[in-house]
Amino acid sequence: MTRSGRSPATAASGAFVLALALQALFIAGCDETYDPELLYPIRRDWIVNAESLEGTPGRINPPGILPLQILDGRKELLGISSDFLKARDEGKIVDPRPVVDVGATGVELMRSLRDLAGRPRYPKIDVDDESLNERLATELKLDRKTLERGSVVYRRNCLHCHGLSGDGKGPTGLWVNPHPRDFRSGIFKYVSSSQDEGKRKPLRDDLRRVLINGIEGTAMPSFSLLSDEDMDAVISYVIHLSIRGEAEMETLKELILERSQASTEEGEAEPIVERVRGKGRTAAERWLEAQTSQLTPPSQPDYEGDEAKMLEAAARGYKFFTRADQCAQCHTNFGRDADLRYDMWGTMVRPRNLTANIYGGGRRPIDFYWRIHLGIRGSGMPSFAPVNEKDPSVKDAETRERTMWDVVAFIRLLPYPEYRAKLSKAHGIYLD
């Protein structure tokens, strides 16, 4: 024991956290605003160019390193190298550095992104369309005044985990598990929008809910003490980072593909500035559309306040959940024995242990409904129901809706031993 009464391990841990905090302070500086000359860095890390990566990792992410860095020769990750090497060879993981580090491409891309999104000190979104810019300023609150305030709030509270460009690689980001969200892909897990899965963006209210509640089971804390003005501002700034990052990523994917096909195809390439503007417009329009497309259940469960009915619904939900082709194929033993897998960002995740009473996306009935109906994009959690209720493949929408609420009832009761006992007694369902 040390003289203070702390063990050497505790003292070392405290010193390590203090060192990270000092590093974050050094990056952020004492001033609340960024240097006027500072630019967002060009992306030079590996890009996952697929909706999912195959393989079963043998271990969780080691601290201080990202699994994709095995492709940079990091020997600490040799145990999982074959999965990423295969994905790289299949074009599911691509490297932007041979593109941005050759000739004037990187400079042109940086200038184009500066024209689209400004600088950290002076953020903006300018998609070179006056009408669309006006809508972004009024409907999404991406006006320059709000964004400049958002950059201050973000620098003070978020940069040390989420990084300058929103890449999730701030000085403390690599040392927490799961890693902070990388906003640059435009993919967010916990959304309530009914947009098509590949285009789905969160509502501002979805981002606000995460800020207020934090994310259970992660290092993302609650920021409920922020003023309404600061919360609105930092939400706007995260949207700004996401639009900028997605325009950059999608442009890089095109340039990488064209580089690989250069020997077989000819023709004049579209200027980078036009590509960035086009990608930025597409991302911005999807964010706008999301704000008026919240998924509203066409029906509500009939078991609230009636324990017997809720147990009946949970019993039906159990039967669906445990079907071999449904939830149980990933949430093995209700998640207690689930295998590791790769997510959209190339990190290792495990399907939720639903007996642990920890829910990243919220614990209200509507939160469970949204996760089942919409899935969790990026994590591998699929959608149970089509987002378009008029889809002709939906033979019985009423039954599908009831089944989703039945699964919600089952998930809500599952963590509690007393309710598991009641399901066993009333319906012969044994969960322990």
**CATH code, domain with 368:** 1.10.760
Please compute the mean of the pLDDT values over residues 257-263 and round it to a whole number. Answer: 81
Write down the mean pLDDT value for the chain: 89
Task: Tell me which DSSP letter residue 265 carries.
Answer: -
Distance CA 43, CA 184 (A): 9
Decide if 110 is inside a domain: yes
Judge if 265 and 324 occupy the same domain: no
Largest CA distance in the chain: 73
- Please, are residues 290 and 200 in contact by the beta-carbon 8 Å criterion? yes
The mean-pLDDT minimum among 98-112, 281-295, 353-367, 389-403 falls in 389-403
* 121 within domain boundaries: yes
DSSP three-state, residue 224: coil
pLDDT above 50 for 20: no
The confidence band for 108, taking pLDDT boundaries of 50, 70 and 90, is very high
Q: Does residue 398 share a domain with residue 347?
A: yes
Per-residue pLDDT averaged across 137-143, rounded? 98
Residue 356 placed within a domain? yes
Residue 327 shares a structural domain with residue 353: yes
Contact, 284 vs 223, CB < 8 A? no
Tokens at residue 365, please?
């009935």
Q: In which element (H, E) is residue 250 found?
A: helix 228-260
Q: Is residue 314 part of a domain?
A: yes
**CATH code, domain carrying 204:** 1.10.760.10
Same-domain check for residues 230 and 376:
no
280 and 311, same domain (yes or no): no
Read off the pLDDT of residues 172-230 as tens digits, 9 standing for 90 and up: 999 999 999 999 999 999 999 999 988 999 999 999 999 999 999 999 999 999 999 99
Q: Same structural domain for residues 250 and 322?
A: no
Q: Are residues 316 and 408 in the same domain?
A: yes
Full domain range(s) for residue 325: 307-427
Query: 341 and 270 in one domain?
Result: no
224 and 159 part of one domain: yes
Task: Confirm whether 389 is domain-assigned.
Answer: yes
Provide, rounded to the nearest whole percent, the portion of the chain with pLDDT above 70. Answer: 88
Last residue of a domain, one of 256, 290, 324: 290
Is residue 341 within a helix (H) or strand (E), and if so which, with residue range? Answer: strand 341-342
Q: How confident is the model at residue 13 (pLDDT cuts 50, 70, 90)?
A: very low
Residue 171's Cβ-count burial label (10 Å; 0-12, 13-18, 19+) is buried
- 111 and 254 housed in the same domain: yes
Check whether residue 365 and residue 417 sit in a common domain.
yes
Closest by Cα among 91, 50, 48 to 261: 91
Total number of domains in the chain: 2
Q: Is residue 16 part of a domain?
A: no
- Distance, in Å, from the CA atom of 10 to the CA atom of 5, rounded to the nearest integer, reads 10
**Residue that finishes a domain, picked among 290, 321, 351:** 290
In this structure, the answer to whether residues 282 and 314 fall within a common structural domain is no
Looking at 29-143, list the stretches that DSSP marks H as alpha helix, in order from N- to C-terminal side. 81-89, 97-100, 105-117, 130-139
Residue that finishes a domain, picked among 261, 290, 319: 290
Residue type at 355 in one-letter notation? T
Domain for residue 364, yes or no?
yes
Phi and psi at 101, nearest 5°, equal: -95, 5
Cα-based distances in Å from 149 to 119, 143, 166, 209, 261? 13, 10, 16, 20, 44
What pLDDT is stored for residue 157 in this prediction?
97
Does residue 257 lie within any of the structural domains?
Answer: yes
Q: Is the pLDDT of residue 25 over 70?
A: no
Q: Is 40 exposed, middle or buried (0-12, 13-18, 19+ CB in 10 A)?
A: buried
CB-CB neighbours of 12 under 10 Å: 11
